[in-house]
Amino acid sequence: MPKLKSKSPRSKKRKLKKESTDSTLSLKERLAQKRKANQERKELISILTTVSLVSFLVGLVMFLVAGVKVAIPSIVGIIVMSLAYKYPRTGLIAFLIYVPAGGTITYYIGNSPILQLAKDAFYFPALIAIWQMCRRQKLPFIIPTAIKTPLFIVFSLSLLTLLFINGGQQLNPPNTGFAQEATSEIPIGMGILGLKVFLGYIPLIACVYYLIRNKQDFLFISRLQIILILVCGGLGILQYLLLLTGVCEGTRNAVGSDLFKATLDARCYFGGSLLYSPEEGVIRLPGTFVAPWQWSWFLISSTFFAFATGFSDPSIIWRFMGLGSMAVIFINAVVSGQRIALA
């Protein structure tokens, strides 16, 4: 019977040398990661110290000039924008979380016009940081590149409208009648705000494109959306139950055309203006958003994330949560009166 050859001492030495090399590399990697984490921690502390000092000085000036209602948003705004610029990925994630809850937060704090723009404190600094990164690395900022020409045409037409229509109204306001107060509107400001709403969020395509670097990032974003759907959808259902049981009045006791108009006076704990006149057969609930139409588009867009997670997530728990979020979307579309979300 042939004897099995034992491994030669030379092969054993090679194996031991390879194991020692691997352990040395893993040790070096761990030390490098530790040094990187310490450096990032020191950098964060330095940034927070500088930003806090600057925001405190600006807030102090704002407090002396305009009072505490302007000082506190100024301090918070400077800190948030600075951190969103330094850490654009975190800023974009915070933007995605804030958008569904923005309507509820705005009206709980006080319905200030500044709070209506609070989400942009996360978005625009992160957008500038990603734009600078694309310039340094020579990456395309407009994605897909095929929309560059039509986007330039639309932007040019919008800019002409801003200059000649809004600018003309600003320089030559309409005449008011005798003993009538002049309007307090600022046409050029309204035009800039409209241009921001119309085209300002198109670069978000590129931001999300560079935010998702690999499969883990994609799963994180999709699962985050599932959590937002379940939380906001649960609050939307609770809002309907509060109206159904009479805890909130809605527009049931309104008269005339007010029975068919969403109003902020009918607000029910979450979100903004709503319409609830079941006797007239009209219900338009805002969920956690400012207005019902925003809630309807949130339900529509959430369907894609819920479907993708429900049928393709590698974890069976998240697949069940994705399917459950689809059921929550359907229930909200029915009870909120958002028929477009059922299409």
Neighbours of 203 (CB within 10 A): 18
Per-residue model confidence as pLDDT tens digits over 130-140: 999 999 998 88
Burial profile 224-248: b = 16 or more Cβ within 10 angstroms, e = fewer = ebbebbbebbebbbebbeebeeeeb
Length reported for the chain: 343
pLDDT for res 181: 60
Per-residue model confidence as pLDDT tens digits over 327-340: 999 999 988 887 77
313 three-class SS: coil
Please state, in angstroms and rounded to a whole number, the distance separating the CA atoms of residues 87 and 90.
6
| pTM of full prediction above 0.85 | no
Per-residue model confidence as pLDDT tens digits over 53-79: 888 888 888 888 877 777 887 888 888
